[in-house]
Every structure is written in C-alpha cells, then in structure tokens.
Chains A and B, each alone.
Chain A
Amino acid sequence: MTMTSALSSALSGLQAASRQAEVLSSNVANATTPGYVRREVLLTSRVVGGSGQGVDVAGIGRNVDLHLQNDRRVAQAAAAGSDTRAEFLNAVEDLIGASDAPGSLSDRIATFDAALISATSRPESEARLSAAADAASALAAGLNAASAAIQSRRQNADATIATAVRTLNDSLKEVERLNAAITAHNGPGNDVSALLDQRAQAIDRISTLLPVREIPRENGRVALMTTSGATLIDGPASSFGFQPTPTIVAETTLASGALSGLTLNGRAVATEGAMSVLGDGELAALFEVRDQLAVSGQAGLDALARDLVERFSDPTLDPTLAAGAPGLFTDAGSAAQPALESGLSARIALNAAVDPDQGGSVTRLRDGLGATTPGPAGDARLLSALSARLNADIATGSAGLSGAARNMTDLASDLLSDIATDRLSVESVQSFAAARLTTLQDLESRESGVDVDAEMQSLLVIEKSYAANAKVLQTLDAMLNTLMEI
C-alpha cells in the first residue's frame, strides 16, 4: 500500500462519513413528516486495480415494505369509504330524529295528535284549531325539509365525486410524470429518494379514493392496479370521466340517465355491484351515497308522506270531501297519485282550505274540508276522527315499505329504526376498518419511519469514523513531513 492510496482511502472515508451525516440530518429533520421514508447510505468498498482502496457510496436506500404499503393503502381506502357512509347515515338519522328530539318526525306527529286532542275538547276555540293546523303544517314542512336535506346531500356527493375524479386524474398524471423522471435519473449514485417520496404521496392520494396496488416495473417505474383488476397506470396514465349534475331532485337518478356515471378512458364503467372497478374506497362510497343510500332514504320518506296523504284523503273520514279531492295533506295542492310517489315528501303540503295564509280557514278542520259555511262551533266529531285516523293501524300502500298495518308513529319509528340499524352496522365496519388501518400504519412506520434515537446512535458512529479517518490523514501528513525533512 502506497502512501497516496492510503491518503485517498482516508479521504473517501471522510466523504462517506459526511454523506452519512447529510442523510442522517435529513432523516432527523423529517422525523415527523408524514409519508417520509427513512433513507440510509449504502456503502461498498472501492476496488482499484484488484485491491481495495477506500469506501464508495453505492447509493441511497429507502426502507419500504411494498406488501405492507399495499395492504395499508387498501385499508386506507376502506376506512375512507366507511367514514363517508357512516357520516351520511348519521346525518339522515339526525334528520328524521329520535322521538325525544324536538322537531323530529315522530315529535311532529305526536304534536299534531296532541293538538287534535286538545281541539276536541274545545272545538270552538280558534286558537286550538290553529294549533292543530300549524302542527299539521309543521309535519308537512318537516317532511319537506328532510327530503330537501337528503337531496342536498346527494348534490354534495355528486360535487364531491367531481372533485375526487379531478384529484384522481391529476394524481395519475403526476405518477406518470414522476415515473418518467425516476427512470431518467435512476443511475448508480443518484439519489431519487425525494422523487420516490413524492410518487408514494401521489399514490397515497389515489388510494384514499379507490384501493390500488403498486406493482414494481423496470427502471424504478411502478404500475397501479385497482384491487378489482383494472389497470390505472402502466406506462401512460388512465383517465376517469365524470360530469357533475347542477340540480339534483328526488326524481333525478342514475337509472333515469339524469345523473352522470363514471367513464374510464372514455368507456362507461360500473360504479356498484360485482362489475365495479372502484372497489371499496371513498369514491365507491360517494357513488353509493348518491345512488343507493340517499335514494332509499328518500323512498322511505316518500312512503311515509304517501301514507300520510292517503290516511286523510278518505271520503268516509270527512263527508264534505268530494271523491278524488285532496285531503288534509296534498301533493303540492292536488290529490296524490300513487304513481307519483317519488319525491312526494318534497311536495307534501297542508290543504290550502285549512291554511289561513292561503285564504283557507282553520275552522274547516272541525267542519270538514269541503264545508262552505261554518258548522256548529262545538262539534268535535271530525277532530276526534282525525286523531283516531292518525293512530289507526293501516296497511301501507307504498312498495318502499312492508305492507304491515301500522299507525303513523310506528311508521316513522320504523323508518328511523331502519336507518339507525344500517348506521350501527356501518359504524361497526368503520371501527374495524379504522383499527386495521391504525395497525398497518403502526407496522409501516415501525418498518420505514425515523427513529431519532437510532439516528443519534448512528451519529456517534459517524462522528467516530470521521475522527478516525481524520486521524489517519493527520498521521499520513506527519509521515509525509518526516519524509520531506530528510
């Protein structure tokens, strides 16, 4: 070993140590950065002319467990999906409301019933009749508001899908661009870790929306496939297409063609069922909210509204009512048609004949909707009959609910129970998905995260190695000086 080769070895040691310190400082700095993967310097011994001469930096390693990462991404999608579903069902449950919540549907029904009973006691009291008419009006308004809120949630889901699709397309493009950049710079000794980190983050964004698996390809590129087998990127990026709908009402459905479906590279793809490419992620959940959960919630409200309308439009209940004339509750002023059930809860209104704001008179609650002159002020028969009708067990006509004979309160509580049961089961799925995601995230950060203590230990080693190499240099210098002084 010559003196100069010893000098060069010591110099390469110094260089390696400073490179290690540089990477270490980056690790410590990013200790809490989400998605940051710990890097390490890969060293090899330098070989010149068949013999070892110092150390070489072979590259920068990134500790990634691909399987763990893929599993975590699938779990992440599932957690985001169940969050969306649970959030929607919770909101609908609050809209319908438990019977003890003021303003809930059950509460409005009970208030209407109580107002009718009070009016029975003093049918001549305009105040009590007004209270009954107001309670009936509030019941109709409650259904209108619940329906409007469900439709606005659908509208929201539709708009969120549009945003999600844009994020998805942008992220896929970014993955494509980063794939190209990584391939270009992926030479020995080059550090593409930052690019890899960026790409991992872009893929994470995609995998919240739909579950994807990352498949390594040559030259550092990756391909992305959904868990249901659709290739999103393998070379050029795929692109999704979606048209948001500006106004969504109960009658606007995917089946009627009024709502946009999803396209992948220009071809329409299923968003639900076994053929869906979306798997279990936020995007699938948003489509489910828009096309299934909200639609069935609306159908339940419509069935309740139809039952309410039909209950009180019976001519045997109110002899002054002409056959086919609208009853106490109307479909936007006219008699309800069974065929027009869809969206009825949005249109249901109190009959104008008993609404003073629309030129009616509350005394018609007592005298009959078709009464032209006021009847005896103390006649409570119709009021009693209305209250009895509200509590009568009548078979539901709507196909949306089972035909069992129920009273209004049971009907409203059954509707709420259906949604609450769904919500509870989705919440148990949600807590499972969250626990699974937490476990996988913990495992992943144990694999790939930064441990500051470990970095500090390495720092001690690096410090020592730097000092040792420097000492070698110093000694060699002394030896050279000795030579020079000869």
Chain B
Amino acid sequence: MTGLGTTSLLTAAMMRQGTALRSGIDRAALELTTGVASDTAAAMRGDFSALAGIDHSLARISAYVAVTTETGLLADAAQAAITTISDQSDELASRLLQSTGATGGQAVSLTISSGAQAFTVAVNAINAHASGRSIFGGVEVDALPLPDADILLDRLAAVVSGATGAEAVMTAIADWFNDAAGYGEQYQGGAPRSASPVAEGETAQFAVTALDPALSGTLAALAAVALLDRGLLSADPDARIDLARRAGEALISSSGARAELQSEIGVVQARVADATSRNAAEKTALGIARLTLVEADPYETAVRLQDLQTRLDAFYTLTSRLSALSLTEYLR
C-alpha cells in the first residue's frame, strides 16, 4: 500500500480484513461450484458415521453389479441349455410314441436312428460353458461335468448287457442313472454352488448340477434310444419297440421335472433381476442422502457470495479513499 495515510495500525487491520474477505470469497465460490460444504467435518458436526455408512454401502452396491450380472448370465445359460434338452426330448417323445403305435418296425427304426443324436446333444448341453465357467459342474467350474456321450454310452452298455427284455433294460438304465456309483461316478463336477450376495442382505443361489434328477431322468430315457441305435436288443424287434415306447413315456413323464427345474432357475433369474433394480434404486437414494448430508445450500452460498462481493467492493473503495487521506500529500 503506498502512502501511509493513517496509522500503521489501520494498515495492518486492513490487510487482515482484506485477507479474511478474500478467503471467505474463495470458500463460497468453491462451495457454489462443487455444491459440497468445504469442511465436511464441520457440515457433519464431527460425526462421520452416517457418511461412512453411505459410502460403504455405495461401494458394496457397485460390487453387487458384478455379482448380479454374472449370476444372471449363468442362470440364462442354464435356462438355454435346459430348453435345448427339453425341446429335443419333447419332440423325440412324441415321435417315439407315434412310431411305436404304428404297425411295423420300420417307422421305429427310423425314429431311433434320427433320435440317437439327442443324447449327445443333451450331454453337450450339460457340458456347456458360460463365460469360461462350467454351468452344471457346481463348484468345479473348470471341469466338464460329464465325459463324452460315447464314453457314457460305452459304460452304460456294459452295465445293461446282461439284461434281457425291455423292462429289465429300462430298469437297469434308470437304476444306473440313479446310482451314486453309476452315473454319480461319471459326474466330474463338484458340490453345488453356494449362495452369492446380490444386494444388501439378499443372496441368490444357483445350485443346479448335472446330478439334478430332472437332468439324469431325461438322460436315462435319451440313453435308452441311443443304445437302441447302437444295436441293443437287436435280436428281439418287439422288445426294441417296447423299449422305444418306454423311453418315449419316460421322456413324457420327466417333462414335468424339467419344467420344474426351469422354474427353479427362473426364480434365481427373478431374484437377480429384483436385486438389480433394488440396487439401482438404492444407489440413487443413497446418492441423494449423501448429498443432503454434505450439501452446501446453493441459495445460502449464493447470498453469502453476493454479500462478500459487496463488502470487498466497499473495502477496496475505502482503502483507496483512506490512502488519499494523507497529511503528507497536503504538506507538499
């Protein structure tokens, strides 16, 4: 400041006031542009528990997004695999029942040879991967749950080779698929998956494995058709037609179980979808709550800024007037 017009005290006091005004303007401008109080602790009166709780919940919600997406993908892939198996089984069942009802073994042979592929398709569907993870393998996500269809059929053929008559063969096949030492031994996967957290306090569990009775029952009926195609009971055409009919009936009767399995997975999908929308809603609500906690009221801040600006204007005017009020100037 040029020209010490008044006391040095006035100069020091004015410098202090100028600094105070300018730092007040800085703070108000910062709060107005960011919308957040510049001293969070002061805005919260020193209590951070609410803010920390919200921030932690927000962090968890962003992690849930990964879980819901991936669990959803898994359930969708499982749904698709079961649909593939179901569609095939239903179609094969109706053709089997139609052809076994007709006279002559020609139609049945045709149906059997065209339906033999169904078992392979079903095994491949159960062995399918979704984004690098086995769908029906439980916790063993890297392993294929089942061996190749041909290997399965070889092992099954050895088991049923002694059985005679359609009923005995069908029973032997069904028993093998229910046996922990039979089909259970072939299963390469692990225990069912545990539940994953999908939202605050909510979990979703995709626990279906290849051991599910709905899948093994369907596989048993499809395996009977595939074995027929391999030449099982070739010596007894009537028994072949009988076994084909029984396979068709088994496919029809297992369709209820497949539908149930699909609805079970549908429940998981619904939970995931619910959790997704709940998380989105919660994220918005928490964001608003968070802002309310740390918000600097824009009207209040704007008024304060205006007031400070007016005062700084006045202060500058005063400074220039005071520095002109110097006796030294008049003594020249």
Residues of A at under 8 Å CB distance from B?
31-32, 93, 98-100, 106-107, 109-111, 113-118, 120-124, 376-381, 384, 387, 409-410, 412-414, 416-417, 420-421, 423-424, 438, 441-442, 445-446, 449-453, 456-457, 459-460
Could you say which residues of chain A place their CB within 8 Å of the CB of B62? 114
Partner-A contacts on B (CB < 8 A): 4-9, 11-13, 16, 40-42, 44-49, 51-56, 58-60, 62-64, 66-67, 70-71, 133, 137-142, 190-191, 193-197, 326-328, 331
> In the complex, which of the residues B45, B48, B58, B71 contacts A98, with contact meaning CB atoms closer than 8 Å?
B48
CB distance from A158 to the nearest CB of B (A): 28
For the complex of A and B, 5 pairs with smallest distance between CB atoms: A413-B52, A421-B46, A110-B59, A114-B63, A376-B139
Q: Are A378 and B138 in contact (CB under 8 A)?
A: yes
Q: A106-B56, A409-B52, A453-B6 are in contact. Are A376 and B140 (CB under 8 A)?
A: yes
Closest approach, in angstroms, between the C-beta of B52 and any C-beta of chain A? 3
Interfacial chain B residues near A379, Cβ < 8 Å = 139, 190-191, 194
Q: Is the CB of B55 within 8 A of A107?
A: yes
Contacting pair A449 B63 (CB below 8 A): no
> Contact: B331 with A456, CB < 8 Å?
yes
- Asked, given contacts A409-B52, A410-B52, whether A378 binds B139 with beta carbons under 8 Å apart, the answer is yes
Besides A380-B196, A412-B52, A452-B4, 18 more A-B contacts (Cβ < 8 Å) are A93-B41, A100-B51, A114-B59, A115-B63, A118-B63, A376-B191, A378-B193, A379-B194, A380-B194, A410-B49, A413-B53, A417-B47, A420-B44, A424-B42, A442-B9, A451-B6, A453-B327, A456-B327
A49 and B160 alpha carbons, distance in the complex (Å): 154
Q: Which residue of B lies closest to A375 (CB)?
A: B139
Given A121-B67, A420-B41, check contact A110 B196 (CB 8 Å): no
Contact among B47, B67, B141 with A117 in the assembled complex (CB-CB below 8 Å): B67
CA distance A118 to B70 in the complex (A): 10
B13:A417 contact, CB within 8 angstroms: no
Q: Is the CB of B6 within 8 A of A452?
A: yes
Show 14 residue pairs from A and B whose CB-CB distance is below 8 angstroms, ordered by the A residue: A100-B40, A106-B48, A114-B59, A114-B60, A376-B140, A376-B190, A376-B191, A377-B140, A381-B194, A410-B52, A412-B52, A414-B49, A452-B7, A453-B327
Residue from the list B48, B71, B140, B197 in contact with A413, Cβ < 8 A: B48
State the CA gap A410–B58 with chains docked (Å).
15
Query: A229 vs B23: C-alpha distance in the bound complex, in angstroms?
Result: 40
Collect the chain A residues with CB atoms within 8 Å of residue B52's CB: 98-99, 106, 409-410, 412-413, 416
Cα distance A378–B40 in the bound complex, in angstroms: 43
- Residue contact A450 to B327, C-beta cutoff 8 Å: no
Q: Which residues of A lie under 8 Å from residue B196 when comparing CB positions?
A: 120-121, 380, 384
**How far apart are B59's CB and chain A's nearest CB, in angstroms?**
4
A380 contact from B4, B11, B16, B193, Cβ within 8 A: B193
Q: Are the C-beta atoms of B42 and A113 separated by less than 8 Å?
A: no
Minimal beta-carbon separation of B171 from chain A (angstroms): 34
B9 partner residues in chain A, CB cutoff 8 A? 442, 445-446, 449
Q: Is the CB of B139 within 8 A of A377?
A: yes
Could you say which of A114, A384, A452 contacts B195, with CB atoms under 8 Å apart? A384
Determine the chain A residues whose CB is within 8 A of the CB of B190 once the complex forms: 376, 378-379
Which residues of chain A come closer than 8 Å to B41, judged between CB atoms?
Answer: 93, 98, 420, 423-424
Point out the residues of chain A lying under 8 angstroms from B4, CB to CB. 31-32, 452
Chain B residues with CB below 8 A from A421, complex form: 46-47
B55 contacts which of A110, A384, A446, A460 (Cβ < 8 Å)? A110
Within the complex, what minimum Cβ distance (angstroms) separates B142 from chain A?
5
Q: Which of B5, B66, B137 contacts A121 (CB 8 A)?
A: B66
**List of B residues within 8 angstroms of A107 by Cβ:** 55, 59
CB of B275, distance to nearest CB on chain A (Å): 12
**Which of B62, B133, B141 has the most C-beta atoms of chain A within 10 angstroms of its own C-beta?**
B141
Q: How far is the CA of A416 from the CA of B46 in the complex (A)?
A: 8
Residue of A nearest to B16 (CB): A438
CB distance from B261 to the nearest CB of A (A): 20
B51 to chain A, nearest CB (A): 6
Closest beta carbon of chain A to B276's beta carbon, Å: 13
Q: In the assembly, what is the distance between CA of A460 and CA of B327, in Å?
A: 11
CB distance from B324 to the nearest CB of A (A): 13
Residues of A within 8 A of B67 (CB): 117-118, 120-121
B329 to chain A, nearest CB (A): 10
- Cα A409 to Cα B11 with chains together (Å): 51
- CB-CB under 8 A from B194, the residues of chain A are 379-381, 384
- The complex places the Cα of A309 from the Cα of B8 at a distance, in Å, of 61
Instruction: Please measure, in the bound complex, the distance between the C-alpha atom of A417 and the C-alpha atom of B49, giving whole angstroms.
Output: 7
Set B8, B60, B328: member contacting A445, Cβ < 8 A: B8
**What B residues does A420 contact at CB under 8 A?**
41, 44, 46-48
Question: How many Å lie between the Cα of A111 and that of B55 in the bound state?
Answer: 10
Q: Are B139 and A409 in contact (CB under 8 A)?
A: no
A106 to chain B, nearest CB (A): 5
A461: min CB distance to chain B, Å: 13
With most chain A CB atoms within 10 A of its CB, the pick from B9, B70, B196 is B9
- Complex: chain B residue closest to A434, CB-CB: B16
Query: What is the chain A residue whose CB lies nearest that of B50?
Result: A413
